[in-house]
Chains A and B, each alone.
Chain A
Amino acid sequence: MSAATPAPAPAASSRESIALSVLTNPLGLIAAILLVLVIATAVFAPLIAPFAPGDLQIFKINAPPGDGYLLGGDGSGRDIFSRLVYGARNTLIGALIALSVAAAIGVTAGLFAGYFGGRREVVMSWIADGLMALPALIVLLAFYQSLGSSIQVSMVIFGIMLSPGFYRLTRNLVNGVKHELYVDAARVSGLSDMRIIARHILLVIRAPVIIQTSIVAGISIVIQAGLEFLGLGDPSVPTWGGMLQDAFANMFVVPTAILWPGLAISITVASFVLLANAIRDRLQQGNRTAPASKMPKVVAKPVGAAPTDNDLLLDIRELVVGYPGKTGWTEVVKGVSLQLRKGEVLGLVGESGSGKTQTAFSVLGLLSTGGRILSGSIWFDGRDIANLPEDEMQKLRGKRIAYVPQEPMSNLDPAFRIGFQLTEPMMTVLGISRSEAKARALKLLAKVGMPDPMRTYKAYPHQISGGMAQRVLIARAISCSPDLLIADEPTTALDVTVQAEVLELLRDLQAEMGMSVILVTHNFGVVADICHRVSVMKDGKVVETADVRTLFADPQHDYTKMLLGAVLDDVTPRTYRPRMLKEVSA
């Protein structure tokens, strides 16, 4: 049985009481109350149960409810209710044993394997894989004769077999954390490995391990009941699984008797699962906003009429883009107007959060989940595409409006060869045959500067460098001769020498094909290198638009001046004045 449920990294602060906030979740509260009830029943069993679990009354064999037996009698004439109460105790003890063994072994091994890695990790992972490859129940059955009928010994073995779940979870979490820079910083600060694990790593793995614990508790209860149901338990000890076995034997006489122990198991396990879900929900709350479907519908009305100037390819008017926030729409683009002529390269420049990327994505109709154009128009070649239906928009993308992303590697599908990724859009958009697409793809690859087009064509993305991947993405973007190319920080992820080559390529292609380009960037050097005109954005608005030479020579807006002032191009290097450290620190 697998317990490999992916757990989220904790987003919320650990100091805030997770326990308290879980209880404010209705399902979490119900689950917690049920669990408290079950545990209380187990602890106070002798006080609650009207009969001892072994009390027999011959005339009550398979008796219906009533006459002192709240839920009737079982196949031997014992009180079903009393046995349920005592069964809670034995079931929880068994689960606790399996859980403790699994968590103790799994978490410890996971911490060490994850943190220290190397040979230790290889060996431990091999053992974990091996344990996971064994059907737990079969192993427990095979060991039954030597373990004897004590279900608790079996639960120890089961705990060992469950430990890989904890091991893998912990190891993966630790692997995710140990290369975080704050762990490096702690190491530089002189913390020992043990202190780093205790201070930085346990904190991160705590919540996911609690979730896993809750789920494994449920699994243990089910497996334990299964063993007892098969008759592998001690018949003298009342357990839910044993009761099911008894009810099964008498199923044709009293079918309802199978109900009670099953319900007891299901409700207890469900409580554990719901509790785990409540904790997980709590942890994920930080990054959740209202679903877009719950937001008021918006349809942006066209602003003005279609532009009459035929030379104007793109005319964005008073564009407002919003995302669902906690209280209504959060606007990220607040009334942007931009114009782009045919064959022109427009730089859209600004700092993070200025809305430059969101503006570009609205032209493509590819805002992230939940994002909407709230008002304004995007006139593209005489048509307002701000609210175009998705299928209409899809016909424009690739064919007339193309896109070059920032991060070349993550923007190629790792599962397909470059060739397929180049020919697929051409075959879809232009409707040409595979062989024609291939011929064109090879020409394109040569055009963007691939020394051996055929080799690149046959390569998978991970087999080429970042600079080459960006050339492939550019080749794909221009493959259907678009009128407008939207390039989102196309050189930011590249080394500076590669950046120069890619800018050179973009410039040549733009001149040759005469397409218009919107180049989103934060780098004024890139703007100066390739753009004809520039729009400077700040906080969702365009503060200044000018011809590129004018902007650099004579910036008008204070913000532009400040940004240009922050450029470090022409500083005088510092001069070194040797001083004695002692003198300084004194």
Chain B
Amino acid sequence: MLSYVSKRLLSSLVLLALVTTLTFAMVFGGADNVAQNILGDNATDQQIADLETKLGIDRPLYEQYGTWVAKAVRGDLGMSWTMGESVSKILSGRLPVTLSMVVLAIVIIGVVSALLGIAAAVRGGWADRVIQLISVVGFSLPNFWLGLILVVVFALNLRWLPATGYTDFTTSPTGWLASLALPVGALVLSGIASASQQVRGAMIDALRQDYVRTLRAGGIKPSSVLFRHALRNAMPAALTVLSLQFIGLLGGAAIIERVFAIPGLGSITVQAALSGDIPILMGVVVTMIILVVIVNIAIDLTNAWVNPKVRL
């Protein structure tokens, strides 16, 4: 297992290096008039040149990259160009916000999809129809539009929940939940749409296996056949879906945070993209990849525990 984890980490490092290099080349290579953007149209050529020197973007690309990498491996992602703070500080303040939203969403997606998917696989009937409906609706409604509608209905008309903003969990747990209710609601629908279908499919596959009949023939209780044997065999497929969902949610959070004015990683990414704050963008890309790598390794390890044939 140790060798698996180290192999996986190595492969992730290669991925991280490739993606950051590519991103660096793309964003820095394409950043022609960063200083102009930052200073505004009234800036003089001298001011622009001064700022370019200060930011270091007048140097050759490979030189900038070398500097960036040398600092990044020490955990220093540089200074933001527009916010006057270090990237690490900005991101570490915002990461918990996005994470709490995404984790809450993934838990809801997991639980609801598991319940719906299992019910549909075992009983068919109403659960099957609910899943079919959700799969079409969930796919078709863009999560940000759903978010807007939720705001209009629950915040503007009914005034049940706050329209925007974020309350920290440590400040007020109920306030935290209230501030996340609408954004998470908007995020989970499409996730449930695809995950519940996958759970249903995986469960139907598992229940079709020969050993299920043989277990029943051996007098094993139906609940044990279902939850101990079939569910365990369906788990790897379901968990893999959740890991893809997690990646999707990280992207989805960018838009949803914008709609609900939540100060998370997503909204700062949008802000940085519009203002050309490249150090922030690089920082976000690095953070996201590390998050995804951690989640994927965790899910692989769980799968290995569930499925003894996978040797790590």
Chain A interface (Cβ < 8 Å from any Cβ of B): 1-2, 4-6, 126, 130, 132-139, 141-147, 215, 218-219, 222, 225-226, 229-232, 244, 247-248, 251-252, 255, 258, 261-262, 265-267, 269-270, 273-274, 277, 291, 293, 364, 366, 390, 394-399, 401-403, 405, 407, 410-417, 424-425, 428-429, 460, 462, 473, 476-477, 480, 486
Q: Decide if A412 touches B29 in the complex (CB within 8 Å).
A: no
Residues of A contacting B198 with CB < 8 Å? 6
| B115 contacts chain A at the CB level, 8 A cutoff | no
Q: How far is the CA of A267 from the CA of B140 in the complex (A)?
A: 7
- Distance, CA A230 to CA B274, complexed state (A): 9
Q: In the complex, what distance in Å separates the CA atom of A415 from the CA atom of B235?
A: 11
Q: Are B229's CB and A416's CB within 8 A?
A: yes
Q: Is the CB of B29 within 8 A of A413?
A: no
Whether a CB of chain A sits under 8 angstroms from the CB of B49 is no
A460 to chain B, nearest CB (A): 4
Chain B 25-37, CB-CB to A under 8 Å as 1, else 0, gives 0110111001000
- Contact B214 A138, beta carbon cutoff 8 Å: no
B112 → A minimal CB distance (Å): 17
Which residues of chain B come closer than 8 Å to A416, judged between CB atoms? 229, 232
Q: How far is the CB of B58 from chain A (nearest CB, A)?
A: 17
Report A163 CB to chain B, min CB distance, Å.
15
Query: Does residue B177 face the partner (Cβ distance < 8 Å to A)?
Result: no
**B258 in contact with A4 (CB, 8 Å):** no
The stretch among B70-78, B82-90, B167-175, B242-250 that forms the contact with chain A is: B242-250
A residues in contact with B301, CB < 8 Å: none
B306 to chain A, nearest CB (A): 6
Q: Is the CB of A462 within 8 A of B292?
A: no
Asked if B111 is an interface residue, CB under 8 A from chain A, the answer is: no
Please name 20 further chain A to chain B contacts, defined as beta carbons within 8 Å, in addition to the given A2-B248, A143-B23, A425-B218, sorted by A numbering: A2-B241, A6-B201, A126-B11, A130-B19, A132-B247, A133-B296, A135-B251, A146-B27, A215-B139, A218-B139, A229-B144, A258-B148, A261-B145, A265-B142, A267-B140, A270-B137, A394-B221, A412-B211, A416-B229, A473-B214
Q: Given contacts A142-B273, A252-B156, A410-B209, is CB(A137)–CB(B252) below 8 Å?
A: yes
Once the chains bind, are A410 and B211 in contact (CB under 8 Å)? yes
In Å, the complex CA distance between A147 and B224 comes to: 55
| 3 closest Cβ pairs, A-B complex | A146-B30, A398-B219, A137-B251
- B11, B211, B292, B293: the one contacting A413 at CB < 8 Å is B211
Main secondary structure of the interface of A (DSSP, over half): helix
What is the bound-complex CA distance between A240 and B135, given in angstroms?
22
Q: Given that A135-B248, A411-B214 are contacting pairs, would A141 and B281 also be in contact in the complex, using a CB cutoff of 8 Å?
A: yes
> Does B110 belong to the interface (CB within 8 Å)?
no
Given A4-B244, A251-B148, A411-B214, verify A138-B251 contact (CB < 8 Å). Answer: yes
Interface string of B229-265 (1 = CB under 8 A from A): 1001100000001001101101110110011000000
For B, the interface residue count at a CB cutoff of 8 angstroms equals 82
Which residues of A lie under 8 Å from residue B152 when comparing CB positions? 251, 255, 258
Q: How far is the CB of B149 from chain A (nearest CB, A)?
A: 7
Residues of chain B within 8 A of A229, CB atoms compared: 144, 255, 258
Question: Which of A262, A265, A414, A417 is the one whose CB lies under 8 Å from B149?
Answer: A262
Check if B194 is an interface residue, CB within 8 A of chain A.
yes
Docked CA distance A417–B307 (Å): 11
Q: Which residues in B have their C-beta under 8 angstroms from that of A232?
A: 273-274
CB of A275 to closest CB in B, whole Å: 11
Of B40-48, B60-68, B178-186, B282-290, which binds chain A? B282-290
A-B contact pairs, 6 of them (CB 8 A): A4-B241, A141-B281, A146-B31, A215-B139, A413-B211, A428-B220
Which one, B34, B132, B250, contacts A138 given CB within 8 A? B250
Which residue of chain B has its CB nearest to the CB of A165? B244
Chain A residue numbers with a CB within 8 Å of B23 are 139, 142-143
Contact with A along B298-312 (1 / 0, CB 8 A): 000000001111000
Please count the residue pairs between chain A and chain B whose beta carbons lie under 8 angstroms apart in the complex.
234
Are B145 and A258 in contact, CB atoms less than 8 angstroms apart? yes
B6 nearest CB across to chain A (Å): 17
Residue B269 at the A interface, CB < 8 A? yes
The answer on a CB contact under 8 Å between A424 and B220 is: yes
Q: Which residues of A contact B259 (CB under 8 A)?
A: 248
In contact, B135 and A273 (Cβ under 8 angstroms): yes
Which of B29, B278, B288 has the most chain A CB within a 10 Å cutoff?
A: B288
B215 within 8 A of A: yes
- Residues of B near A130 (CB, < 8 A) are 15, 18-19
Given the complex, which residues of A lie within 8 Å of B276, measured CB to CB? 145
On whether the beta carbons of B210 and A411 are closer than 8 Å, the reply is yes
B136-167: CB near A (< 8 Å → 1, else 0) gives 11011110110011011000100000000000
| Chain B residue contacts of A429, Cβ below 8 A | 218-219
Cα distance A270–B134 when bound, in Å?
A: 11
Q: Could you tell me if A231 and B274 are in contact, using CB atoms closer than 8 angstroms?
A: yes
> Is the Cβ of B254 less than 8 Å from the Cβ of A230?
yes
Is B222 part of the binding interface, using a Cβ–Cβ cutoff of 8 Å?
yes
Q: In whole Å, how far is A516's beta carbon from the nearest beta carbon of chain B?
A: 16
Closest-CB distance, B291 to chain A (whole angstroms): 9
- Residues in B with CB closer than 8 Å to A398 are 217-220
CB distance from A360 to the nearest CB of B (A): 10
Do the beta carbons of A145 and B273 come within 8 Å of each other?
Answer: yes
Q: Which of these, A4, A136, A226, A411, contacts B142 with CB under 8 Å? A: A226
Residues of chain A contacted by B139 (CB below 8 angstroms): 215, 218-219, 269-270, 273
- On whether the beta carbons of B245 and A2 are closer than 8 Å, the reply is yes
Closest to B229 in A: A413
